[in-house]
A and B are shown apart, each in its own frame.
Chain A
Amino acid sequence: MTLVIKQEKPKSTFSKIVEIISTMASRPSGLIGLIILVFHVTLAITSPLYAPHDYKAIDPSLMLQAPSSEYWFGTDSLGRDVFTRTILGGRTALTVTFFGSLIALLWGGALGIFCGLVGGKIDDVVMRIIDAFLSIPWILAMLLIVSLLGTSTIVLIPALGFFYGKGIVRVARAATHDVIAKDFIVSARARGHGNFSIIWNEILPNVRDAIMVEGAMRWSWMLLGFSSLSFLGFGVSPPTPDWGLMISNARGLMSFAYWAVLAPIFGLSSLIIGINLTADAFAKALGIDRSTKAPV
C-alpha cells in the first residue's frame, strides 16, 4: 500500500533512474554488484591508458615468471605480462556481450510482445519455431556460424544476440499475456486505438521492466557463453587478450604456473557475479521479485 502523498512533483526520467540506482545500492548485495560492475566497466574503458606492459610483447626469457613487483600477476608461457593481459582481457567480451544483449533484448522483446498481442495461430507457429531453436545446443550452432562466417565482432554480436534472445521472447510473451486480458487494453481497443498504439502506450510500459531484467540476466549468461567460445578458440583471435582464451592457453600449465590461469578466472567470474547481483538488485528495485515485495 502506497501512502498517498498530497502534492507530488512529476518525476523526470533522470530522477527515476537515480531513484532506481539508489534503491539498488541500498542493499549490500546490490551495492557490491554495482561496485564490481562499475569497476569492470571503468577498467575496460581506461585500461589501455595505464597498462604497464605491451600485451603482445613476447619474450622467451621471461617465460612463466612468478608474480613479482615488475610483473604483478607473473608472466605466461610466452613471457607476456599476465596483469596487462587481465586488465585488457575483458574489453572485447564486455563490448560484444553488451551489444549482443541489446540485440537480444530488442528482437526478443518485440517478437514476444507481438506474439502475446496477436495470439492465435501466428503465436502458435512462432512459439513452436522458438521451441525448436531452444532444442538445438546453442554452442554447436554458434560453432557452425563462426566457422562459416569467421570470428569477427560483426558476426559474433548478432549471432549471440539471436541465440540469447529466444528466452526473452518467452518472457516478453508471458508478461504481455498478463497485461493483455486487463480492461485497460479492452478499453483502448473499444476506443479504436490501433495495434501499434496499444503496444507502445499500453503494453510496453507494463512489460518493460520484466524484459529489461531478463535482458540483464541474459547478459551474464552471454558473457559466460562468449568466454566459452574463446576458450574453444572460436571467439577472439590471438594475440588479442581475452579471459576465455587466456584460461584455455594457461590451463595445461596450471600445476606450476597457477597465476597465469587464476587471474583471468578471477576477472571473468567477478564480472559475472557483479552482473548477476546487479540484475537481481535491479529486479528488486523495480518490484519484480515477488518474494520480497512489501506485504501491505
Chain B
Amino acid sequence: MQQVVQEIKNLSIGFTSKKGEQISILKNISTTINKGETVGIVGESGSGKSTLALAMMGYVKHGLFTISGECIYQSNDILKMKNRELENIRGRKIAMIPQNAGQSLTPNLKIGYQIDEALRLHTNFQKEDRDVKISELLNKVRLPSPETIAKRYPHELSGGQQQRVAVAMALAGSPDLLLLDEPTTGLDVTTQAHVLELLNFIAKDTGTSMVYVSHDLGAIAQVSDRVIVMYSGEIVLDGPVKTILKNPIHPYTYGLLKSIPKLTLSGLPNSMSGSQPQPGTIKEGCSFYDRCEFAEDKCKINSPELEFVSELNSSVRCFNHKKLHKKKDEDTKSSKKVLRKLTKNEILDISSVSISYAKQKFIEQLLNKIDDTNPTVKDINIKIDKGETLALVGESGSGKSTILKSIAGLIKAKDGIIKFDKNKILSNDLKKRDANYLRAIQLIFQNPDESLNPNHTVEEIVSQPLKLYFGLSGNELKQKIIEVLKKVRLGEFYLTRYPRQLSGGEKQRVAVARAFAAKPDIILCDEVTSALDVSVQAAVLNLLQELKVDFGTTYIFVSHDLAVVKAISDRVAVLYQGRLCEIGPSESVYKFPSHPYTEVLLGAVLEPDPDIKPKLVAEDIVEEKPPEKGCSFQGRCPRLLGQICKTDVPPWQIDENGNAIRCHIKINDLKNQQISN
C-alpha cells in the first residue's frame, strides 16, 4: 500500500450568487495524492483546477467557501485549520509554485535574501548553514554561479531563471507536497522544456509529491505519472498518464486531444463545438452533455458517477466509456488543409526593413533619423503572395510582433520599404497612410479582453470599421453588422451583448468579425490563439481557414507555438533576435535540414504524448540584445562552427525544397548532422 500524502474526500467549494443560490465550483471531488507521485490536473479555464490546488494548501479564495468535504493532510482536515496551524504546514510541508514567478518575487529584495527568508521561516538552520543551503538550492535548480544570482534582484533575471528561483524557494522547507499552478505557461518554448525537465529531476531526486496544474496537455504529458481531467468542477477522468493520453475513454478528453495541433499531423485539428457551461447553469444530467458527440437521452437527465475501469486502472465519469474504449482513432489523420492556389501575385513586399527602439537624440530628432548600428529588428526581406498564410515564429524578443506592428504602421521602421500591391509604398507613418491602405491591413490581437472595448456592445465594436471606411449608417449598417457576425458564426442576438458577457472564443470571433468588416486584403494575426483554451483554439483556427477560402485574404500569423503554425501556415519564417534565420514552405521548414535555431525550437515542442520526449539541444540562456556582428544565434548555437560565426553574417542557402536557411554550415552537412542525431 502506497503512502498517502493528501486525501481529498467529497470536496465541494462554491459561492453564493446574487440571487442567494449556492453555486458549486468544485463538485464532490475525491482523490488521493500518493508519496512520490506527480499528479497532473488538466482542464480549461473555469474548470476549477486552480481552486482545487489552492484547497490542497488549505486556502479558499475570498468569496468562496467550503460547502462540504475535507482535505486531509496527516490525518487533519487542513480546510478547518486555524491560521497558526496552517503556518506550520504552508511552505514547510506543502509548498506552492505560482504561475508568474516574476510577480511573486518581491522586486526590491535580493534573491539570496528571499530564499534566506524562506529558510528562516520553514527550517531550523542557523545563519551559516542557511548560506550554504542557499547555494545548494540554487545549484539544485541549475542556476549558473549561485553566488552571483543570490546577489541579484528579481528583475535582473530572465523569466526562466525567476521560475527556477521560485522552485528553489518552494524546496527550501523540503516539502512533502509541491503544488505547481501553471508554472511554465508564461515561458518560452525552450525555457519551458528546460524547467519541466528540472521538475522531473527534482521529483525523482527528492521524492516529493507534486500536483501539476495546467491547461497544457503537452506539459502534463512530460511530468505526470497520473492525470486528473476536470470539467466544470468535476473530475471526469482519472488515471495513469499513458492511458489517459493514448486511450482517453471520456468524450471530453477524447475531443480535447483531437483539437490539439501536433507536429506529427498536418492540417488543422478538429474543433470541439460549444464551450464549458458557466457554474450553476447545469441543474441535472451530465455537464458535458451539450458538447458531447456520444451523448444519449439518458445523459441529459442522469448525472453519471465516477466509475472505476479496472482494466485501464482509471476512473471515468461517463455512461458510454466502453464505446470510446473500442473506438479506433480512424479520423485523427483527417487533413483539413486547403492547398494554396499557386498564384504568384505579390501583395506585400517587405524589403530590408530595420526597426529600432533606440531613443532618438535631439539632433537626430531634428534630422528625423535614428542612429543605431544594432537595431532590434534588422534586414527583414519577405515577399508575400496574395492568399498566402505566412507565419512568423520565434521566442519572446524575436521581433515578430514588432515586424507586425511596423506593417500596420504602429511602429516606424528605421530603414527599408514596405510595398503593398506591387508598387504602392506604405508610409512608415500611420498618419500619412492612405485610408484605403489602412483598410486593407487589419490587425487581430492576442487577447480579446484587451482588444475589445469593455464598454461597447458587439454592435458598436463591429460598426467601427464599417462607419469609418464605408460611411454606413442606420439600417444599412445594422444589416451589414449582422451579415459580418454571421460569417464568424455568431447570431443576431449577440448584437447587444458586452464583451464581458461572452466566452473567450466568442470574444475572439467578434475581434475576427471586426477585422473582416473592413474587407481587408491582409490580416495580421498577433498570437490570436494563445489566450484561448485548447478546444476553442481549434475552432478559431478553423474559422480563420474558412474565411480565408471565402475571401482570399492573406494572413500574416505571428505565434510562438510551432504546432499551431504548422497547422495553419503555407510558409514559415523563423526569427531570432530580430533577424531571419530560416524561411520556406511550412512542410520543409519542419523537416531537416533546419537552421540550428529551428532545430532547437522543434526539439522543445511538447507533444501531448508521454512517449515523445523533448530534445534539449541548447541552453536556455536569454540574450538581452542581438550580437553586434556575425550570426544572430551565435550565443546559443549547438552547432557553432567557429570564429566565422562570430564575425560574418551567414549567407542564405536554399535547399531542394525551397527552404532558405541562413547558416555558415553547408546545407548538406547540416542535414547529415541533424539526421544522424
Chain A interface (Cβ within 8 Å of chain B)?
1-10, 182-184, 186-193, 201-202, 205-206, 294-296
Q: Report the nearest B residue to A192, measured CB to CB.
A: B438
Q: Smallest Cβ distance from A109 to chain B, in angstroms?
A: 16
> Which positions 446-463 of chain B face chain A at CB distance < 8 Å?
446-447, 450-457, 460
29 examples of A-B residue contacts, CB within 8 angstroms: A1-B279, A3-B280, A3-B281, A7-B493, A183-B446, A184-B453, A186-B410, A186-B451, A187-B445, A188-B464, A190-B408, A190-B410, A190-B438, A190-B441, A191-B438, A191-B442, A192-B433, A192-B435, A192-B438, A193-B468, A201-B456, A201-B460, A201-B464, A205-B455, A205-B456, A206-B454, A295-B61, A296-B25, A296-B64
B62 at the interface (CB under 8 A from A): yes
| B468 x A190 contact (CB < 8 A) | no
The complex places the Cα of A3 from the Cα of B497 at a distance, in Å, of 12
| A187 x B451 contact (CB < 8 A) | yes
| A183 x B447 contact (CB < 8 A) | yes
> Which positions 511-558 of chain B face chain A at CB distance < 8 Å?
514, 518
Bitwise, B45-85 to A at CB < 8 A (1) or not (0) is 01000000000000001111000000000000000000000
> Which positions 462-515 of chain B face chain A at CB distance < 8 Å?
464-465, 468, 493, 496-497, 500-503, 514
Q: In the assembled complex, which residues on chain B have CB atoms less than 8 Å from the CB atom of A190? A: 408-410, 430, 438, 441-443
B278 at the interface (CB under 8 A from A): yes
Q: Given that A4-B278, A189-B410, A192-B430 are contacting pairs, would A205 and B453 also be in contact in the complex, using a CB cutoff of 8 Å? A: yes
| B496 x A6 contact (CB < 8 A) | no
| A206 x B430 contact (CB < 8 A) | no
The number of chain B residues with a CB under 8 A from chain A is 47
| A2 x B500 contact (CB < 8 A) | yes
Q: In the assembled complex, which residues on chain A have CB atoms less than 8 Å from the CB atom of B455? A: 205-206
Q: Chain B contact residues: over half helix, strand or loop, or mixed?
A: loop
Q: In the assembled complex, which residues on chain A have CB atoms less than 8 Å from the CB atom of B496? A: 8-10
Q: Report the nearest B residue to A4, measured CB to CB.
A: B501
Pick the residue among A8, A189, A202, A295 that contacts B63 (CB under 8 A): A295
| A182 x B450 contact (CB < 8 A) | yes
Q: In the assembled complex, which residues on chain A have CB atoms less than 8 Å from the CB atom of B441? A: 190
Residue from the set B279, B452, B455, B496 with the largest chain A CB neighbour count within 10 Å: B455
Q: Smallest Cβ distance from A182 to chain B, in angstroms?
A: 5
The complex places the Cα of A6 from the Cα of B441 at a distance, in Å, of 34
| A187 x B443 contact (CB < 8 A) | yes
| B453 x A206 contact (CB < 8 A) | yes
B254 at the interface (CB under 8 A from A): no
Q: In the assembled complex, which residues on chain B have CB atoms less than 8 Å from the CB atom of A8? A: 493, 496-497, 501
Q: Smallest Cβ distance from B505 to chain A, in angstroms?
A: 13
Bitwise, B379-397 to A at CB < 8 A (1) or not (0) is 0000000000000000000
| B408 x A3 contact (CB < 8 A) | no
Q: In the assembled complex, which residues on chain B have CB atoms less than 8 Å from the CB atom of A295? A: 15, 61-64
| A183 x B464 contact (CB < 8 A) | no
The complex places the Cα of A187 from the Cα of B170 at a distance, in Å, of 41
| A189 x B501 contact (CB < 8 A) | no
Q: Smallest Cβ distance from B498 to chain A, in angstroms?
A: 9
The complex places the Cα of A6 from the Cα of B494 at a distance, in Å, of 9
Extra contacts besides A6-B493, A184-B450 (9): CB < 8 Å: A10-B496, A183-B446, A186-B445, A190-B410, A190-B430, A193-B468, A201-B464, A202-B453, A294-B63
Across the A-B interface, the 3 shortest Cβ-Cβ residue pairs: A295-B63, A205-B455, A183-B451
> Which positions 7-51 of chain B face chain A at CB distance < 8 Å?
15, 17, 25, 46
Q: In the assembled complex, which residues on chain A have CB atoms less than 8 Å from the CB atom of B451? A: 182-184, 186-187
Chain B interface (Cβ within 8 Å of chain A)?
15, 17, 25, 46, 61-64, 278-281, 408-410, 430, 433, 435, 438-439, 441-443, 445-447, 450-457, 460, 464-465, 468, 493, 496-497, 500-503, 514, 518
Q: Smallest Cβ distance from A289 to chain B, in angstroms?
A: 15
Q: In the assembled complex, which residues on chain A have CB atoms less than 8 Å from the CB atom of B457? A: 10
Q: In the assembled complex, which residues on chain A have CB atoms less than 8 Å from the CB atom of B410? A: 186, 189-190
The complex places the Cα of A243 from the Cα of B439 at a distance, in Å, of 61
Q: Smallest Cβ distance from B353 to chain A, in angstroms?
A: 17
Q: In the assembled complex, which residues on chain B have CB atoms less than 8 Å from the CB atom of A296? A: 15, 25, 63-64
Q: Report the nearest A residue to B14, measured CB to CB.
A: A296
Q: In the assembled complex, which residues on chain B have CB atoms less than 8 Å from the CB atom of A189? A: 410, 430
The complex places the Cα of A206 from the Cα of B446 at a distance, in Å, of 21
Q: In the assembled complex, which residues on chain A have CB atoms less than 8 Å from the CB atom of B447? A: 183
The complex places the Cα of A296 from the Cα of B501 at a distance, in Å, of 14
Q: Smallest Cβ distance from A159 to chain B, in angstroms?
A: 34
The complex places the Cα of A10 from the Cα of B494 at a distance, in Å, of 11
Q: Given that A3-B281, A206-B455 are contacting pairs, would A183 and B450 also be in contact in the complex, using a CB cutoff of 8 Å? A: yes
Q: Report the nearest A residue to B459, measured CB to CB.
A: A10
Q: Smallest Cβ distance from B348 to chain A, in angstroms?
A: 15
Q: In the assembled complex, which residues on chain A have CB atoms less than 8 Å from the CB atom of B433? A: 192
Q: Smallest Cβ distance from B418 to chain A, in angstroms?
A: 14
| B445 x A183 contact (CB < 8 A) | yes
Q: Report the nearest B residue to A206, measured CB to CB.
A: B455
The complex places the Cα of A183 from the Cα of B46 at a distance, in Å, of 24
Q: In the assembled complex, which residues on chain A have CB atoms less than 8 Å from the CB atom of B460? A: 201
Q: Report the nearest A residue to B278, measured CB to CB.
A: A3
| B468 x A192 contact (CB < 8 A) | yes
Q: In the assembled complex, which residues on chain A have CB atoms less than 8 Å from the CB atom of B408? A: 190
Q: Smallest Cβ distance from A235 to chain B, in angstroms?
A: 39
Q: Report the nearest A residue to B453, measured CB to CB.
A: A184
Q: In the assembled complex, which residues on chain A have CB atoms less than 8 Å from the CB atom of B25? A: 296
The complex places the Cα of A238 from the Cα of B409 at a distance, in Å, of 64
Q: In the assembled complex, which residues on chain A have CB atoms less than 8 Å from the CB atom of B450? A: 182-184
Q: In the assembled complex, which residues on chain B have CB atoms less than 8 Å from the CB atom of A205? A: 453, 455-456
Q: In the assembled complex, which residues on chain B have CB atoms less than 8 Å from the CB atom of A202? A: 453
Q: In the assembled complex, which residues on chain B have CB atoms less than 8 Å from the CB atom of A7? A: 493
Q: In the assembled complex, which residues on chain A have CB atoms less than 8 Å from the CB atom of B281? A: 3
Residue from the set B63, B408, B453, B503 with the largest chain A CB neighbour count within 10 Å: B453
Q: Report the nearest A residue to B500, measured CB to CB.
A: A2
Q: Smallest Cβ distance from B47 to chain A, in angstroms?
A: 13
Q: In the assembled complex, which residues on chain A have CB atoms less than 8 Å from the CB atom of B468? A: 191-193
The complex places the Cα of A276 from the Cα of B279 at a distance, in Å, of 37
Q: Report the nearest B residue to A179, measured CB to CB.
A: B453
| A191 x B465 contact (CB < 8 A) | yes
The complex places the Cα of A186 from the Cα of B447 at a distance, in Å, of 13
Residue from the set A1, A10, A192 with the largest chain B CB neighbour count within 10 Å: A192
Q: Smallest Cβ distance from A10 to chain B, in angstroms?
A: 4
The complex places the Cα of A263 from the Cα of B126 at a distance, in Å, of 68
Q: In the assembled complex, which residues on chain A have CB atoms less than 8 Å from the CB atom of B17? A: 3
Q: In the assembled complex, which residues on chain B have CB atoms less than 8 Å from the CB atom of A192? A: 430, 433, 435, 438-439, 468
The complex places the Cα of A204 from the Cα of B464 at a distance, in Å, of 16
Q: In the assembled complex, which residues on chain A have CB atoms less than 8 Å from the CB atom of B453? A: 184, 201-202, 205-206
The complex places the Cα of A10 from the Cα of B456 at a distance, in Å, of 12
Q: In the assembled complex, which residues on chain B have CB atoms less than 8 Å from the CB atom of A201? A: 453, 456, 460, 464
Q: In the assembled complex, which residues on chain B have CB atoms less than 8 Å from the CB atom of A6? A: 493
The complex places the Cα of A191 from the Cα of B409 at a distance, in Å, of 10
Q: Smallest Cβ distance from B356 to chain A, in angstroms?
A: 18
Q: Report the nearest B residue to A7, measured CB to CB.
A: B493
Q: Report the nearest A residue to B46, measured CB to CB.
A: A1
Q: Smallest Cβ distance from A15 to chain B, in angstroms?
A: 13
The complex places the Cα of A230 from the Cα of B52 at a distance, in Å, of 61
